[in-house]
Structure 1
Amino acid sequence: MTARSRHDHFPRADLARRQHIRDAVAATDAAWRAADAAPGGLLAAIDAVEGAPAEVALARLIPWLEDTAWLQARLEAALALLAADPFARPPLRLVGGGDGGAGGLVLADRRGVRVTLLVRPAGSCVAPPASAVFVPGRAAIRVLASGDASLLWHEVAVDEAEEGGGFTAAAAAPCRSEPARALRTGELLQLDTARQSWSLAEARRDILLLELAVQPPSPLPIRAYDIASGRLIHVSASRRDSSFRTMALTLLRHLGRTDAAPLFAAETGAEDFAARWHAMRELVALDRVAARSHLAAMAAGDPHPEVRRAAAATAALLTLLPLAGGVGEGLFLSMRANMPHPNPPLKGRA
């Protein structure tokens, strides 16, 4: 017998009940939006630090992590909606949580500032992670429940030239990790996330974290390092708009949308070097005939030395192949060796 879901009992025919649910959720959403936008509200506080350096914005917004009465009131209101009707959906944006992994609620997301309530089930961080991710910006994390977990701290050196757009994989400093220590309930972690990262392991119970991340646009890419060796393994564009476009291009490539080749070609002129190379890789995988002229131009004139070398190496590889048909998965995978693979950005840390 097939197990029945709670959604099998959804009151499809009870229009009055469904309307009551919608009205209650809408009223709660409107109340939260008004409170956030009013003087002293969360979004008003975020707007007040627009244009400030990331470290300044973080310092001004940290009080929202120190006094969490606003968060408790919001969660109580959400629970009240569910108590009134289990089919209500509180107006809170979910993030992650697939397959029993880490997830949470996005409480604010505006102008490069995000406040997130993160839940990490004990089973999601038993073993130490294999990689550490560094994202340009600043972050603060209030530990609401430690779960008796161990905290691992990772650091990597970044100089001013790299931060200003001169980053190369060849010259990237290795990542160094400190010995694990106990995560403490109530502590506040503050990070320069371009240079510092953290991960958790050995959690005995669920972990609850309140995270404030300030991530302004930056020419420095997101970087992932292998923790065991300290070696750089992945690079991706840190600008959110570039990240969305790279994910869209990957989807279009998987769908075989050769008619969208002009979109791929346009993105090869993106400001982020990792986004430019990602777009070129996807274009070659989609339609190498259409890619050849753009690849030659990139090899000759891209402002980033590693992108030029990667394009030249790929162009040389293409000359060995017949000028017909799709590029094939074999060539697509071989292109990954030319420079660190620019994956979509990894916002959360393990």
Structure 2
Amino acid sequence: MRIDPEMLALRGDTALQRHAQEALERARDRWLASEPVAGVMAELRAYGQGEKLAHCPALGDLFAGQGREAGWLDPLVHGLTTALRDYPLGQVPLRHQVSDGLSILQLTICGRATLSLIIYEDTAASNAEAPTSICFSDVERREVVVAGAADLRLFEIVQDRGDTAVLDSDPRRVVAREALHFPGFVHAKQVVKVHGRMVMLRLSRTPETPAPSRQFCLNTGKLLHRSSGDRRESQHELMMALLGRMGREDAAPIFAEMMRSGSDHLRWQAMRECLALDTATGFAALCAMAENQADALCDHASALRDQLLARHPQLAGKEAAQCRA
């Protein structure tokens, strides 16, 4: 196996690794400490706590489509690229992710607000299939094109019917200095074609209690997938799924307890995982949910209980035992 000499040097010299990282961190910290950036960050903290953007003039100016965002970002880009020229194997000290045609650099996160730099690249050469669905998330987003251009489709849910939706879409080409606003979970965008490369600055803010994210089929409007809009609830879902796949039956009482509080989405998911992990505990909790007329999930739980009893009559004994208790 061939190992590049620069990699060998880094592996054998921890001081060199430290110097590389310190150089990149200094570039980031200088940018954050500069007066224009510090003012925006102070307002971002207020915005992340629920303040209106109209009361955050420095932050709002970045998304007014006046070109101020480019000058605001230039010192950061210059500082990081200069450090990377000296230390090409250094790690940019900002959270980032890269996928096919899309790169995201998270500049900062304050409370419920996040400021990110988004880079779209032309993927026409990859022969990627046209998207067949669109996802709507309960996040308010403001975006401004820093450089480049792209053709978009802007979507809106004009009729929400639960399991289906009527979608409206408008084509739009955006260029540098153009600003976009997506005020809530009924608006979304799809990038159809990027003309070379497009860079956007994005400001996003989630509500205190976000609604579930939903994915719809573009052709039929059918609901394809629903997931929690709350990051903590998503973590709980992952933990429940992991414990379920591990066969941890001792977690079933915890799942049953989770069915009593939280969002309807998380409670229903806890019920499904509890049933799969321990039928007796899960079915007893399902019966309790079905019998509670004040529960928003009462009707759904009652219907599921009846379906399970019709398919598995032996569950009637567990139901009777629960009632006697």
TM score, norm. by length of structure 1 = 0.74
Which piece of structure 1 moves more, 23-32 or 237-246?
23-32
Match of 1:180, SS state, is strand
Determine the structure 2 residue equivalent to 1:48. Answer: 46
Residues 59 and 154 (structure 1), Cα distance of their counterparts in 2 relative to 1, 3 Å cut: farther
On the 8 A contact 2:140/2:182 being kept in 1, the answer is yes
Aligned positions of 1:1-350 closer than 5 A = 8-9=7-8, 11-32=10-31, 34=33, 40-42=39-41, 44-52=42-50, 61-66=59-64, 67-68=68-69, 69-95=71-97, 97-98=98-99, 100-123=100-123, 127-147=129-149, 149-157=150-158, 169=162, 174-218=165-209, 220-301=211-292, 305=296, 307-319=297-309, 320-321=311-312
- Matched letter for residue 90 of structure 2: A
Q: Distance in 2 between matches of 1:58 and 1:267?
A: 39
The whole-number CA distance in structure 2 between the counterparts of 1:132 and 1:58 is: 32
Q: Which amino acid aligns with 2:138?
A: P
| Distance in structure 2 (CA, Å) of the matches to 1:153 and 1:141 | 13
Cα deviation 1:299-325 (Å, max 9, x = unaligned): 3338664x334433433444434989x
Output the amino acid matched with 1:48.
Answer: A
Q: SS where residue 220 of structure 1 aligns? A: coil
8 A Cα contact 1:138 1:193, kept in partner = yes
Q: 2:62 is aligned with what amino acid?
A: W
Distance 1:188 1:37, change over 3 A: closer
Q: For 1:177 and 1:211, locate their aligned partners in 2 and report how far apart those are by CA, in whole Å.
A: 23
Q: Distance in 2 between matches of 1:92 and 1:131?
A: 31
Cα distance change, pair 31–62 in 1 and its aligned pair in 2 (3 A) = same
Distance in 2 (CA, whole Å) between partners of 1:53 and 1:125 is: 44
| SS of equivalent residue, structure 1 residue 193 | coil
Q: Is the 8 A contact 2:118 2:201 kept in 1?
A: yes
Judged with a 3 Å threshold, the aligned counterparts in structure 2 of structure 1 residues 74 and 256 are, in CA distance, closer, same or farther, namely: farther
Q: Quote how far apart the aligned CAs of 1:45 are.
A: 1.1
Mapped partners of 2:314, 2:36: distance in 1: 57
1:24 Cα deviation from its structure 2 partner? 2.6
CA distance in 1: counterparts of 2:44 and 2:304, whole angstroms: 44
SS of the residue corresponding to residue 50 of structure 2 reads: coil
Counterpart contact for 1:150–1:201, Cα < 8 Å? yes
The 2-side partners of 1:74 and 1:187 are apart by 22
Residues 310-344 of structure 1 show CA distances to partners (whole Å, capped at 9, x for unaligned) of 433433444434989xxxxxxxxxxxxxxxxxxxx
Q: CA deviation at 1:190?
A: 0.9
Counterpart amino acid of residue 61 in structure 1: L
CA distance, structure 2, for counterparts of residue 5 and residue 11 of structure 1: 10
Task: Tell me: CA distance 1:251–1:122, structure 2 relative to 1, closer, same or farther (3 Å).
Answer: farther
Contact 2:31 2:75 in 1 (8 A): no
Unaligned runs of 5+ in 1: 159-166, 325-350
The one-letter code sitting in structure 1 at the alignment partner of 2:79 is A
Alpha carbon RMSD of aligned pairs, Å?
Answer: 3.4
8 Å CA contact 1:132–1:225 kept in 2: the answer is yes
Q: Which has the higher contact order (CA 8 A, sep 6+)?
A: 1
Distance 1:207 1:30, change over 3 A: closer
**In structure 2, distance between residues paired with 1:72 and 1:114:** 19
Instruction: Please report the TM-score for the alignment, with normalisation by the length of structure 2.
Output: 0.79
**Deviation for aligned residue 1:168:** 7.8
What's the offset of the Cα at 1:107? 1.0
Do 1:140 and 1:211's aligned partners in 2 also have CA atoms closer than 8 Å? Answer: yes
The answer on whether the counterparts of 2:148 and 2:176 sit within 8 Å (CA) in structure 1 is yes
- What CA distance in whole angstroms lies between the structure 1 residues aligned with 2:238 and 2:290? 23
The residue that corresponds to 2:321 in the other structure is none
Amino acid at match of 1:308: C
- Quote the Cα distance in structure 1 between the aligned partners of 2:254 and 2:103: 33
SS in 2 for 1:185: coil
AA partner of residue 142 (structure 2): A
Q: Which sits farther off after the overlay, 278-287 or 50-59?
A: 50-59
Q: What is the CA–CA distance in structure 2 between the aligned matches of 1:304 and 1:219, rounded to whole Å?
A: 20
Q: 1:253 to 1:207 in 2, by over 3 A?
A: farther
Would the aligned equivalents of 1:150 and 1:180 in 2 still touch at CA under 8 Å? yes
Question: Aligned in 2, Cα 1:122/1:10: closer, same or farther, shift over 3 Å?
Answer: farther
Deviation per CA, 1:261-293: give whole Å up to 9, x if none: 344334323432112222222222333333122
2-structure distance, mates of 1:65, 1:125: 33
Higher strand share: 2
Residue 344 of structure 1 aligns with which residue? Answer: none
CA gap 1:179/1:50 in 2 versus in 1, 3 angstroms: closer
The one-character-per-residue Cα deviations of 1:34-75 (angstroms, maximum 9, x if unpaired) are 459985142x11222354366657887332345222322112
Task: Measure the CA separation in 1 of the matches of 2:33 and 2:308.
Answer: 57
